[in-house]
A and B are shown apart, each in its own frame.
Chain A
Amino acid sequence: MELICPAGTPASFRDAVEAGADAVYCGFRDETNARNFPGLNFNAQELTEAATHARANGVSTLVAINTYMRAGAEELWYRAVDNAATAGADAIIVADLGLLAYAAERHPALRRHLSVQAAAANVEHINFLVDAFGIKRVVLPRVLTVAEVGAICRKARCETEVFVFGGLCVMEEGRCSLSSYATGKSPNMDGVCSPASHVRYRQDGSDMVSELGDFTINRFPKDEPTGYPTLCKGRFVAGGTAGYVFEDPASLDVLTHLEALARFGVSALKIEGRQRGRAYIAQVVREIRNRLDGLAAGEQREDGATLRKLSEGQRTTQGSYDKRWR
Protein backbone atom coordinates (compact mmCIF):
# COMPACT_ATOMS: atom_id res chain seq x y z
CA MET A 1 0.00 0.00 0.00
CA GLU A 2 1.26 3.44 -0.91
CA LEU A 3 1.63 6.05 1.80
CA ILE A 4 0.12 9.40 0.73
CA CYS A 5 1.36 12.35 2.76
CA PRO A 6 0.21 15.95 3.03
CA ALA A 7 2.31 19.04 2.33
CA GLY A 8 1.24 22.62 2.96
CA THR A 9 4.54 24.23 1.97
CA PRO A 10 7.55 23.33 -0.19
CA ALA A 11 9.51 22.75 3.04
CA SER A 12 7.03 20.21 4.37
CA PHE A 13 6.88 18.63 0.91
CA ARG A 14 10.61 17.91 1.13
CA ASP A 15 10.23 16.63 4.68
CA ALA A 16 7.48 14.22 3.57
CA VAL A 17 9.66 12.92 0.73
CA GLU A 18 12.53 12.44 3.16
CA ALA A 19 10.37 10.77 5.81
CA GLY A 20 9.26 8.00 3.48
CA ALA A 21 6.18 9.11 1.56
CA ASP A 22 5.32 7.25 -1.64
CA ALA A 23 3.28 10.20 -2.83
CA VAL A 24 2.75 13.73 -1.57
CA TYR A 25 -0.43 15.73 -2.11
CA CYS A 26 -0.65 19.49 -2.11
CA GLY A 27 -2.65 22.35 -3.58
CA PHE A 28 -2.41 25.78 -5.15
CA ARG A 29 -2.49 28.97 -3.14
CA ASP A 30 -6.14 29.82 -3.83
CA GLU A 31 -9.69 28.57 -3.36
CA THR A 32 -9.26 25.70 -5.81
CA ASN A 33 -8.33 23.38 -2.96
CA ALA A 34 -9.89 22.44 0.34
CA ARG A 35 -7.04 23.75 2.51
CA ASN A 36 -7.14 27.37 1.39
CA PHE A 37 -5.43 28.72 4.52
CA PRO A 38 -3.31 31.86 4.94
CA GLY A 39 0.38 31.34 4.23
CA LEU A 40 -0.21 27.81 2.97
CA ASN A 41 0.13 26.06 -0.39
CA PHE A 42 2.05 26.35 -3.64
CA ASN A 43 2.34 28.66 -6.60
CA ALA A 44 2.90 27.14 -10.06
CA GLN A 45 6.69 27.44 -9.85
CA GLU A 46 6.89 25.95 -6.35
CA LEU A 47 4.77 23.05 -7.54
CA THR A 48 7.02 22.44 -10.53
CA GLU A 49 10.10 22.40 -8.28
CA ALA A 50 8.42 20.11 -5.75
CA ALA A 51 7.21 17.68 -8.41
CA THR A 52 10.67 17.58 -9.99
CA HIS A 53 12.27 16.90 -6.62
CA ALA A 54 9.70 14.22 -5.88
CA ARG A 55 10.21 12.47 -9.20
CA ALA A 56 13.99 12.44 -8.69
CA ASN A 57 13.32 10.57 -5.44
CA GLY A 58 10.80 8.14 -6.89
CA VAL A 59 7.88 9.89 -5.20
CA SER A 60 4.61 10.93 -6.91
CA THR A 61 2.98 14.34 -6.70
CA LEU A 62 -0.79 14.59 -6.39
CA VAL A 63 -2.46 17.96 -6.74
CA ALA A 64 -5.73 18.56 -4.93
CA ILE A 65 -8.10 20.74 -6.97
CA ASN A 66 -10.99 19.58 -4.89
CA THR A 67 -13.34 22.46 -4.22
CA TYR A 68 -16.41 23.09 -6.35
CA MET A 69 -16.00 25.59 -9.17
CA ARG A 70 -17.63 28.92 -8.39
CA ALA A 71 -20.26 29.59 -11.02
CA GLY A 72 -18.96 32.16 -13.46
CA ALA A 73 -15.34 31.77 -12.29
CA GLU A 74 -14.68 28.29 -13.69
CA GLU A 75 -11.54 29.52 -15.46
CA LEU A 76 -9.63 29.61 -12.15
CA TRP A 77 -10.22 25.87 -11.69
CA TYR A 78 -9.50 25.04 -15.32
CA ARG A 79 -6.17 26.91 -15.10
CA ALA A 80 -5.33 25.00 -11.92
CA VAL A 81 -5.75 21.72 -13.80
CA ASP A 82 -3.65 23.04 -16.70
CA ASN A 83 -0.96 24.23 -14.28
CA ALA A 84 -0.87 20.90 -12.45
CA ALA A 85 -0.38 19.13 -15.78
CA THR A 86 2.37 21.54 -16.82
CA ALA A 87 4.12 21.22 -13.45
CA GLY A 88 4.43 17.48 -13.96
CA ALA A 89 1.87 16.28 -11.43
CA ASP A 90 1.24 12.54 -11.49
CA ALA A 91 -2.45 12.97 -10.70
CA ILE A 92 -5.05 15.54 -9.81
CA ILE A 93 -7.59 15.03 -7.02
CA VAL A 94 -10.94 16.41 -8.12
CA ALA A 95 -14.51 16.51 -6.76
CA ASP A 96 -16.51 18.75 -9.13
CA LEU A 97 -18.25 16.95 -12.01
CA GLY A 98 -17.78 19.86 -14.40
CA LEU A 99 -14.08 19.99 -13.61
CA LEU A 100 -13.74 16.21 -14.04
CA ALA A 101 -15.32 16.60 -17.46
CA TYR A 102 -12.86 19.36 -18.36
CA ALA A 103 -9.84 17.39 -17.15
CA ALA A 104 -10.93 14.21 -18.93
CA GLU A 105 -11.36 16.10 -22.18
CA ARG A 106 -8.32 18.39 -22.09
CA HIS A 107 -5.80 16.27 -20.21
CA PRO A 108 -6.80 12.67 -20.83
CA ALA A 109 -3.34 11.38 -19.91
CA LEU A 110 -3.32 13.06 -16.49
CA ARG A 111 -4.58 10.63 -13.84
CA ARG A 112 -7.81 11.69 -12.18
CA HIS A 113 -8.43 10.75 -8.56
CA LEU A 114 -11.84 11.33 -7.04
CA SER A 115 -11.53 13.53 -3.97
CA VAL A 116 -13.11 12.60 -0.67
CA GLN A 117 -15.03 15.86 -1.16
CA ALA A 118 -17.02 14.13 -3.90
CA ALA A 119 -18.69 12.00 -1.22
CA ALA A 120 -18.67 8.80 -3.26
CA ALA A 121 -19.87 6.45 -0.55
CA ASN A 122 -21.04 3.49 -2.63
CA VAL A 123 -19.74 1.42 -5.48
CA GLU A 124 -22.45 2.45 -7.95
CA HIS A 125 -21.50 6.10 -7.52
CA ILE A 126 -17.82 5.29 -7.92
CA ASN A 127 -18.20 3.07 -10.96
CA PHE A 128 -20.40 5.67 -12.64
CA LEU A 129 -17.51 8.14 -12.43
CA VAL A 130 -15.04 5.52 -13.61
CA ASP A 131 -17.19 5.04 -16.71
CA ALA A 132 -18.00 8.71 -17.26
CA PHE A 133 -14.63 10.33 -16.56
CA GLY A 134 -12.08 7.54 -16.32
CA ILE A 135 -11.19 8.13 -12.68
CA LYS A 136 -8.32 5.89 -11.64
CA ARG A 137 -8.71 6.09 -7.90
CA VAL A 138 -11.33 7.05 -5.33
CA VAL A 139 -10.57 8.52 -1.93
CA LEU A 140 -13.23 6.96 0.28
CA PRO A 141 -15.36 9.08 2.62
CA ARG A 142 -14.82 8.79 6.34
CA VAL A 143 -18.43 7.68 6.87
CA LEU A 144 -17.76 4.01 6.04
CA THR A 145 -17.05 1.10 8.35
CA VAL A 146 -14.03 -1.11 7.72
CA ALA A 147 -16.37 -3.81 6.42
CA GLU A 148 -17.97 -1.33 4.00
CA VAL A 149 -14.52 -0.30 2.78
CA GLY A 150 -13.85 -3.96 2.06
CA ALA A 151 -17.09 -4.35 0.12
CA ILE A 152 -16.31 -1.31 -2.03
CA CYS A 153 -12.78 -2.54 -2.73
CA ARG A 154 -14.18 -5.81 -4.07
CA LYS A 155 -16.49 -4.15 -6.58
CA ALA A 156 -14.99 -0.79 -7.50
CA ARG A 157 -13.43 -0.69 -10.95
CA CYS A 158 -10.66 1.63 -9.77
CA GLU A 159 -8.06 1.89 -7.01
CA THR A 160 -9.12 2.91 -3.51
CA GLU A 161 -7.44 5.28 -1.08
CA VAL A 162 -8.36 5.40 2.60
CA PHE A 163 -7.71 8.00 5.31
CA VAL A 164 -5.81 6.44 8.20
CA PHE A 165 -4.67 9.32 10.35
CA GLY A 166 -5.39 12.98 11.05
CA GLY A 167 -8.33 15.32 11.26
CA LEU A 168 -11.72 13.75 11.01
CA CYS A 169 -14.91 14.98 9.40
CA VAL A 170 -17.91 13.81 11.39
CA MET A 171 -20.24 14.76 8.56
CA GLU A 172 -20.00 13.31 5.10
CA GLU A 173 -17.29 15.30 3.36
CA GLY A 174 -18.30 17.66 0.61
CA ARG A 175 -21.90 17.76 1.81
CA CYS A 176 -21.57 19.97 4.84
CA SER A 177 -22.68 23.60 5.03
CA LEU A 178 -22.20 24.05 8.77
CA SER A 179 -19.24 26.35 8.22
CA SER A 180 -20.98 28.61 5.72
CA TYR A 181 -24.04 28.70 7.95
CA ALA A 182 -21.93 30.20 10.74
CA THR A 183 -19.34 32.17 8.76
CA GLY A 184 -20.35 32.46 5.12
CA LYS A 185 -17.25 30.46 4.12
CA SER A 186 -17.64 26.84 3.16
CA PRO A 187 -15.37 23.89 2.36
CA ASN A 188 -17.07 23.37 -0.99
CA MET A 189 -16.94 26.94 -2.23
CA ASP A 190 -14.03 28.55 -0.40
CA GLY A 191 -11.83 25.62 0.59
CA VAL A 192 -12.10 26.39 4.28
CA CYS A 193 -14.00 24.95 7.21
CA SER A 194 -14.42 26.99 10.37
CA PRO A 195 -11.94 29.53 8.93
CA ALA A 196 -9.32 31.26 11.07
CA SER A 197 -10.66 34.63 9.91
CA HIS A 198 -13.79 33.97 11.98
CA VAL A 199 -12.12 32.35 14.99
CA ARG A 200 -11.77 34.16 18.27
CA TYR A 201 -10.41 32.90 21.55
CA ARG A 202 -11.43 34.83 24.60
CA GLN A 203 -10.55 34.38 28.25
CA ASP A 204 -13.65 34.36 30.47
CA GLY A 205 -12.59 34.03 34.10
CA SER A 206 -10.50 30.88 34.17
CA ASP A 207 -12.21 29.47 31.06
CA MET A 208 -10.91 29.83 27.55
CA VAL A 209 -13.84 30.41 25.20
CA SER A 210 -13.57 29.67 21.49
CA GLU A 211 -15.92 31.41 19.09
CA LEU A 212 -16.64 31.03 15.40
CA GLY A 213 -18.46 33.90 13.75
CA ASP A 214 -21.30 34.86 16.07
CA PHE A 215 -21.35 31.52 17.89
CA THR A 216 -19.67 30.11 20.98
CA ILE A 217 -18.16 26.77 20.01
CA ASN A 218 -16.49 25.68 23.22
CA ARG A 219 -15.36 26.58 26.69
CA PHE A 220 -12.25 24.99 28.18
CA PRO A 221 -11.67 25.04 31.91
CA LYS A 222 -8.08 25.79 32.92
CA ASP A 223 -5.68 22.92 32.14
CA GLU A 224 -8.10 21.00 29.90
CA PRO A 225 -6.59 20.26 26.49
CA THR A 226 -8.10 22.71 24.05
CA GLY A 227 -9.25 22.39 20.46
CA TYR A 228 -9.68 24.47 17.37
CA PRO A 229 -13.31 25.64 17.07
CA THR A 230 -14.25 23.30 14.26
CA LEU A 231 -18.03 23.44 14.30
CA CYS A 232 -18.79 19.75 14.47
CA LYS A 233 -16.34 19.31 17.34
CA GLY A 234 -17.80 21.97 19.58
CA ARG A 235 -19.56 21.65 22.89
CA PHE A 236 -23.25 22.52 22.73
CA VAL A 237 -26.46 22.05 24.65
CA ALA A 238 -29.09 19.66 23.26
CA GLY A 239 -31.94 17.98 25.05
CA GLY A 240 -30.93 19.61 28.32
CA THR A 241 -27.40 18.25 28.39
CA ALA A 242 -24.20 20.09 27.55
CA GLY A 243 -21.44 18.21 25.78
CA TYR A 244 -19.88 17.22 22.52
CA VAL A 245 -23.08 16.76 20.52
CA PHE A 246 -21.36 15.54 17.34
CA GLU A 247 -17.85 14.39 18.21
CA ASP A 248 -15.25 14.85 20.92
CA PRO A 249 -12.11 16.68 19.80
CA ALA A 250 -10.07 13.78 18.55
CA SER A 251 -8.12 12.72 15.49
CA LEU A 252 -8.67 9.70 13.34
CA ASP A 253 -6.30 6.79 13.91
CA VAL A 254 -7.16 3.54 12.16
CA LEU A 255 -3.66 2.14 12.02
CA THR A 256 -4.83 -0.93 13.94
CA HIS A 257 -6.79 -1.88 10.79
CA LEU A 258 -3.80 -1.79 8.44
CA GLU A 259 -3.77 -5.52 7.97
CA ALA A 260 -7.44 -5.62 6.99
CA LEU A 261 -7.01 -2.72 4.58
CA ALA A 262 -4.08 -4.52 2.95
CA ARG A 263 -6.18 -7.67 2.66
CA PHE A 264 -9.02 -5.75 0.96
CA GLY A 265 -6.58 -4.56 -1.67
CA VAL A 266 -6.66 -0.88 -0.68
CA SER A 267 -4.11 0.86 -2.91
CA ALA A 268 -3.17 3.81 -0.78
CA LEU A 269 -3.30 5.10 2.78
CA LYS A 270 -3.75 8.79 3.29
CA ILE A 271 -2.61 11.06 6.08
CA GLU A 272 -4.69 14.20 6.64
CA GLY A 273 -3.01 17.47 7.59
CA ARG A 274 -1.78 19.82 4.86
CA GLN A 275 -2.39 22.62 7.34
CA ARG A 276 -0.21 21.02 10.01
CA GLY A 277 3.43 21.86 10.59
CA ARG A 278 6.58 20.14 9.39
CA ALA A 279 7.08 18.54 12.80
CA TYR A 280 3.68 16.81 12.52
CA ILE A 281 4.27 15.65 8.99
CA ALA A 282 7.74 14.28 9.64
CA GLN A 283 6.70 12.43 12.80
CA VAL A 284 3.47 10.99 11.47
CA VAL A 285 4.96 9.89 8.16
CA ARG A 286 7.94 8.26 9.85
CA GLU A 287 5.73 6.46 12.36
CA ILE A 288 3.31 5.12 9.78
CA ARG A 289 6.10 4.19 7.36
CA ASN A 290 7.60 2.17 10.19
CA ARG A 291 4.34 0.35 10.82
CA LEU A 292 3.84 -0.36 7.14
CA ASP A 293 7.35 -1.76 6.89
CA GLY A 294 6.57 -3.80 10.01
CA LEU A 295 3.42 -5.11 8.39
CA ALA A 296 5.40 -6.16 5.33
CA ALA A 297 7.93 -7.90 7.56
CA GLY A 298 5.21 -9.58 9.60
CA GLU A 299 6.01 -7.64 12.79
CA GLN A 300 3.86 -5.56 15.12
CA ARG A 301 5.39 -2.12 15.54
CA GLU A 302 3.10 0.12 17.52
CA ASP A 303 3.51 3.34 19.34
CA GLY A 304 0.15 5.03 19.68
CA ALA A 305 1.51 7.54 22.18
CA THR A 306 3.60 9.49 19.65
CA LEU A 307 0.64 10.03 17.37
CA ARG A 308 -1.77 10.82 20.17
CA LYS A 309 0.38 13.77 21.22
CA LEU A 310 -0.15 15.26 17.79
CA SER A 311 -3.91 14.89 17.93
CA GLU A 312 -6.72 17.23 18.78
CA GLY A 313 -7.62 16.90 22.43
CA GLN A 314 -4.64 14.52 22.46
CA ARG A 315 -7.04 11.72 21.72
CA THR A 316 -7.68 9.52 18.74
CA THR A 317 -10.73 7.70 17.45
CA GLN A 318 -11.38 5.08 14.81
CA GLY A 319 -14.38 7.11 13.67
CA SER A 320 -16.93 5.34 11.54
CA TYR A 321 -14.41 2.65 10.56
CA ASP A 322 -15.39 1.17 13.93
CA LYS A 323 -19.10 0.47 13.68
CA ARG A 324 -19.67 1.09 17.40
CA TRP A 325 -18.82 4.75 16.85
CA ARG A 326 -22.12 5.19 15.07
Chain B
Amino acid sequence: MDLPRFVRLLLRPMPVAAIQLVAQASLDRVVARHPQLFDRLREYENRRFAIVATDLGLCFIVVPRSRRVSVQRGTSVPKADVRIAGSLLTLLSLAEGRLDGDAEFFARGLSIEGDMEAALALRNAMEDCRLDLPTDLGSAAGPLSRPVERGLSGIRSYLLSHGGDRWN
Protein backbone atom coordinates (compact mmCIF):
# COMPACT_ATOMS: atom_id res chain seq x y z
CA MET B 1 0.00 0.00 0.00
CA ASP B 2 2.73 2.44 -0.93
CA LEU B 3 2.01 5.75 -2.57
CA PRO B 4 2.00 5.79 -6.35
CA ARG B 5 5.44 6.68 -7.63
CA PHE B 6 4.38 10.00 -9.14
CA VAL B 7 3.00 11.20 -5.83
CA ARG B 8 6.29 10.43 -4.15
CA LEU B 9 8.13 12.28 -6.88
CA LEU B 10 5.83 15.29 -6.48
CA LEU B 11 6.30 15.42 -2.71
CA ARG B 12 10.02 14.87 -2.59
CA PRO B 13 11.18 18.39 -3.57
CA MET B 14 8.75 20.11 -1.18
CA PRO B 15 10.66 22.02 1.51
CA VAL B 16 10.31 20.61 5.02
CA ALA B 17 9.14 24.03 6.23
CA ALA B 18 6.15 23.92 3.89
CA ILE B 19 5.24 20.40 4.95
CA GLN B 20 5.51 21.46 8.55
CA LEU B 21 3.09 24.35 8.00
CA VAL B 22 0.53 22.01 6.51
CA ALA B 23 1.08 19.45 9.23
CA GLN B 24 0.70 22.05 12.01
CA ALA B 25 -2.46 23.46 10.45
CA SER B 26 -3.85 19.93 10.22
CA LEU B 27 -3.04 19.18 13.84
CA ASP B 28 -4.63 22.47 14.94
CA ARG B 29 -7.85 21.57 13.14
CA VAL B 30 -7.96 18.07 14.55
CA VAL B 31 -7.34 19.36 18.08
CA ALA B 32 -10.02 22.03 17.72
CA ARG B 33 -12.63 19.63 16.38
CA HIS B 34 -11.87 16.66 18.66
CA PRO B 35 -11.03 17.88 22.16
CA GLN B 36 -11.99 14.48 23.61
CA LEU B 37 -8.73 13.18 22.17
CA PHE B 38 -6.90 14.42 25.25
CA ASP B 39 -9.36 12.93 27.66
CA ARG B 40 -8.52 9.49 26.26
CA LEU B 41 -4.79 10.14 25.97
CA ARG B 42 -4.60 11.06 29.67
CA GLU B 43 -1.02 10.84 30.93
CA TYR B 44 0.27 9.82 27.51
CA GLU B 45 -0.35 13.31 26.13
CA ASN B 46 3.12 14.38 27.17
CA ARG B 47 4.87 11.53 25.36
CA ARG B 48 6.96 12.25 22.29
CA PHE B 49 5.48 10.42 19.31
CA ALA B 50 7.55 9.98 16.15
CA ILE B 51 5.31 9.13 13.24
CA VAL B 52 7.34 8.02 10.27
CA ALA B 53 5.99 7.95 6.74
CA THR B 54 8.45 5.44 5.37
CA ASP B 55 7.59 5.97 1.69
CA LEU B 56 8.13 9.72 1.97
CA GLY B 57 11.22 9.55 4.13
CA LEU B 58 9.55 11.99 6.52
CA CYS B 59 9.20 11.95 10.26
CA PHE B 60 6.49 13.88 12.13
CA ILE B 61 7.24 14.46 15.79
CA VAL B 62 4.25 15.23 17.96
CA VAL B 63 3.94 15.92 21.67
CA PRO B 64 0.16 16.09 22.02
CA ARG B 65 0.16 18.29 25.11
CA SER B 66 2.22 20.99 23.38
CA ARG B 67 -0.14 20.84 20.37
CA ARG B 68 2.97 21.14 18.18
CA VAL B 69 4.20 19.00 15.32
CA SER B 70 7.65 19.23 13.81
CA VAL B 71 8.80 17.60 10.62
CA GLN B 72 12.17 16.29 9.67
CA ARG B 73 13.56 14.33 6.79
CA GLY B 74 14.84 10.84 7.38
CA THR B 75 13.22 7.89 9.09
CA SER B 76 15.49 7.42 12.09
CA VAL B 77 14.49 9.41 15.14
CA PRO B 78 17.01 9.87 17.89
CA LYS B 79 14.69 10.94 20.71
CA ALA B 80 11.11 9.75 20.89
CA ASP B 81 9.10 7.71 23.40
CA VAL B 82 7.36 5.84 20.66
CA ARG B 83 8.00 5.41 16.94
CA ILE B 84 5.16 4.42 14.64
CA ALA B 85 6.24 3.76 11.07
CA GLY B 86 4.34 2.86 7.93
CA SER B 87 3.49 4.16 4.51
CA LEU B 88 1.67 7.50 4.38
CA LEU B 89 -1.51 5.78 3.24
CA THR B 90 -1.35 3.27 6.07
CA LEU B 91 -0.83 6.05 8.60
CA LEU B 92 -3.65 8.20 7.23
CA SER B 93 -6.08 5.32 7.06
CA LEU B 94 -5.14 4.32 10.60
CA ALA B 95 -5.79 7.89 11.73
CA GLU B 96 -9.24 7.68 10.19
CA GLY B 97 -9.89 4.26 11.71
CA ARG B 98 -10.33 2.82 8.22
CA LEU B 99 -7.66 0.25 8.75
CA ASP B 100 -7.31 -2.13 11.66
CA GLY B 101 -4.03 -1.34 13.36
CA ASP B 102 -3.60 -4.81 14.82
CA ALA B 103 -4.14 -6.51 11.46
CA GLU B 104 -1.72 -4.12 9.75
CA PHE B 105 0.81 -4.71 12.50
CA PHE B 106 0.45 -8.50 12.28
CA ALA B 107 1.03 -8.23 8.53
CA ARG B 108 4.06 -6.01 9.21
CA GLY B 109 2.67 -3.07 7.25
CA LEU B 110 3.18 -1.06 10.41
CA SER B 111 6.00 -1.04 12.89
CA ILE B 112 5.80 0.21 16.46
CA GLU B 113 8.76 0.65 18.76
CA GLY B 114 9.12 2.12 22.23
CA ASP B 115 6.29 2.84 24.64
CA MET B 116 3.56 0.45 23.50
CA GLU B 117 1.09 1.82 26.02
CA ALA B 118 1.43 5.30 24.58
CA ALA B 119 1.03 3.93 21.07
CA LEU B 120 -2.13 2.08 22.11
CA ALA B 121 -3.54 5.11 23.88
CA LEU B 122 -2.95 7.25 20.78
CA ARG B 123 -4.51 4.65 18.51
CA ASN B 124 -7.58 4.27 20.71
CA ALA B 125 -7.97 8.01 21.21
CA MET B 126 -7.72 8.67 17.46
CA GLU B 127 -10.18 5.87 16.72
CA ASP B 128 -12.78 7.42 18.93
CA CYS B 129 -12.45 10.81 17.19
CA ARG B 130 -13.89 9.40 13.96
CA LEU B 131 -11.51 11.57 11.98
CA ASP B 132 -12.54 12.33 8.46
CA LEU B 133 -9.52 14.14 7.10
CA PRO B 134 -11.11 15.90 4.11
CA THR B 135 -13.85 17.32 6.37
CA ASP B 136 -11.56 17.97 9.32
CA LEU B 137 -8.89 19.70 7.27
CA GLY B 138 -11.20 21.30 4.74
CA SER B 139 -12.95 23.23 7.48
CA ALA B 140 -9.69 25.09 8.07
CA ALA B 141 -9.94 26.76 4.70
CA GLY B 142 -12.72 29.18 5.69
CA PRO B 143 -14.78 30.25 2.68
CA LEU B 144 -12.84 27.81 0.57
CA SER B 145 -13.67 24.88 2.84
CA ARG B 146 -16.09 23.17 0.46
CA PRO B 147 -13.77 23.18 -2.55
CA VAL B 148 -10.79 22.17 -0.39
CA GLU B 149 -12.80 19.37 1.17
CA ARG B 150 -13.91 18.19 -2.26
CA GLY B 151 -10.34 18.36 -3.51
CA LEU B 152 -8.94 16.36 -0.58
CA SER B 153 -11.73 13.87 -0.88
CA GLY B 154 -10.96 13.47 -4.57
CA ILE B 155 -7.27 12.90 -3.85
CA ARG B 156 -8.20 10.30 -1.23
CA SER B 157 -10.49 8.49 -3.64
CA TYR B 158 -7.79 8.54 -6.28
CA LEU B 159 -5.12 7.19 -3.96
CA LEU B 160 -7.47 4.54 -2.68
CA SER B 161 -8.48 3.33 -6.07
CA HIS B 162 -4.83 3.18 -7.13
CA GLY B 163 -3.12 1.74 -4.12
CA GLY B 164 -5.26 0.78 -1.21
CA ASP B 165 -7.05 -2.47 -1.75
CA ARG B 166 -7.32 -2.95 1.99
CA TRP B 167 -8.80 0.47 2.57
CA ASN B 168 -12.46 -0.37 2.82
Do A and B touch, yes or no (CB under 8 Å, in the complex)? Answer: yes
Q: Which residues of A contact B (CB under 8 A)?
A: 8-12, 37-40, 195-197, 199-203, 223, 225-228, 249, 275-280, 282-283, 309-314
Question: A residues within 8 A CB of B166?
Answer: 309
Q: Which of B94-102, B139-147, B151-159 contacts A (4 or more CB under 8 A)?
A: B94-102
- Tell me the residues in window 115-132 of chain B with beta carbons closer than 8 Å to chain A beta carbons: 116-125, 127-130
Cβ A11 vs Cβ B40 within 8 A: no
B123 with A196: CB separation less than 8 A:
no
Q: Which residues of B contact A225 (CB under 8 A)?
A: 106-108
B124 to chain A: closest CB distance in Å? 3
Query: Are A39 and B105 in touch, CB under 8 angstroms?
Result: no
Within 8 Å by CB of A277, from B41, B102, B107, B111, lies B102
How many B residues face the partner with a CB closer than 8 A?
A: 35
Is A11 within 8 A of B168, CB to CB? Answer: no
Chain A residues within an 8 Å CB radius of B112: 201
CA distance A65 to B44 in the complex (A): 25
Complex interface: chain B residues within 8 A of A280 (CB): 100, 102-103
Q: Which residues of A contact B42 (CB under 8 A)?
A: 38-39
CB <8 Å contact, B128 and A277: no
Distance of A9 from chain B, by nearest CB (Å): 4
B106 and A9 form a contact (CB under 8 A):
no
Docked-complex contact A277 and B106, CB < 8 angstroms: no
Contacts of A279 in B (CB 8 A): 97-100, 103, 168
With contact pairs A11-B129, A276-B102, A280-B102 given, residues A39 and B120 touching in the complex (Cβ less than 8 Å): yes
B107 in contact with A11 (CB, 8 Å): no
Residues on B with C-beta less than 8 A from A278 are 97, 127, 130
Q: Which residue of B lies closest to A13 (CB)?
A: B128
Q: Assess the A199–B124 pair: CB atoms within 8 A.
A: no
Q: Which residue of B lies closest to A210 (CB)?
A: B116
With both chains docked as a complex, state the minimum distance between the C-beta of B51 and any C-beta of chain A, in angstroms.
16
Distance of B131 from chain A, by nearest CB (Å): 10
* Complex alpha-carbon distance, A32 and B103, angstroms: 27
User: Is the Cβ of A313 less than 8 Å from the Cβ of B116?
Assistant: no
Task: Tell me which of B94, B107, B124, B130 contacts A38 (CB under 8 A).
Answer: B124
Q: How far is the CA of A196 from the CA of B121 in the complex (A)?
A: 10
Bound Cα distance A280, B111 (Å): 18
Residues of chain A lying within 8 A (CB to CB) of residue B106:
225-228, 249, 311-314
Q: How far is the CB of A22 from chain B (nearest CB, A)?
A: 22
Which residue of B is nearest A200, CB measured? B116
Q: How distant is A154 from chain B, measured CB to nearest CB, in Å?
A: 37
Instruction: Known pairs A8-B127, A39-B41; list 17 more (Cβ under 8 Å).
Output: A9-B124, A11-B128, A38-B44, A38-B118, A40-B120, A196-B117, A197-B117, A200-B116, A201-B116, A203-B113, A228-B105, A276-B102, A277-B94, A279-B98, A280-B103, A283-B168, A309-B103
